[in-house]
Amino acid sequence: MTINPALFSSATDEWATPQDLFDLLAREFAFDLDVCATPGNAKSEYFFTKADDGLRQTWTSRAAWMNPPYSAVAAWMEKAASEAAKGATVVCLVPARTDTKWFQAAFEKASEVRFLKGRLKFGESKNSAPFPSAVVVFEPPRTFVKSVTCWNWRKTQ
């Protein structure tokens, strides 16, 4: 068994979205923008790369997918909440780090948080990530009841 050492270090902050999870969410949200992508892993026809700097772009009037670089997750979550306040729906795949300031701030502003049951296998990895994950949804302002679930997404497919 070969273990990718980057999974257990800070050697990378790019965690390729598991395609089956993305497909399930794409059916629900109909994404038309991937705000944190590379040309090789973009999940939408329209996407922002590191060179485009999605933090400086406008995401409004889009259903956006976001799997941010985890080294800067706080800034990306703040941007997602800001763009939702302007009219975007933003669905984020992030580590479920409930003890962090960024997660607590995101939780306060999110319309929905889905704690994923089990651990994800990112990209082509044969091993699960060393951390739990959550899907955090930011929606345009409206009256809603916050939804928090432990989501067994594998049984939804």
Q: pLDDT tens across 32-87, in order?
A: 999 999 888 899 899 999 999 999 999 976 899 999 998 999 999 999 999 999 99
Q: CA 89 → CA 33, 60, 129, distances in Å?
A: 10, 8, 27
Using CA atoms, how far apart are residues 141 and 4, in angstroms rounded to an integer? 41
> CB count, 10 Å around CB of 11?
9
Those residues with Cβ within 8 angstroms of residue 128's Cβ, 6 or more apart along the chain or in another chain? 118, 119, 120, 121
Q: What is the pLDDT of residue 7?
A: 40
> CB count, 10 Å around CB of 24?
17
Dihedral sign for Cα 139, 128, 132, 82, please: negative
Q: Which two tokens stand for residue 33?
A: 């923008």
Report for 2-6, 67-71, 144-148: range of highest mean pLDDT: 67-71
For residues 102 and 153, which has the higher predicted lDDT (pLDDT)? 102
Using CA atoms, how far apart are residues 92 and 89, in angstroms rounded to an integer? 10
Q: Which two tokens stand for residue 61?
A: 């009037």
- The terminus-to-terminus CA distance of the chain in angstroms comes to 28
Q: What is the pLDDT of residue 143?
A: 62
pTM: 0.85
* Per-residue pLDDT at 97 exceeds 60: yes
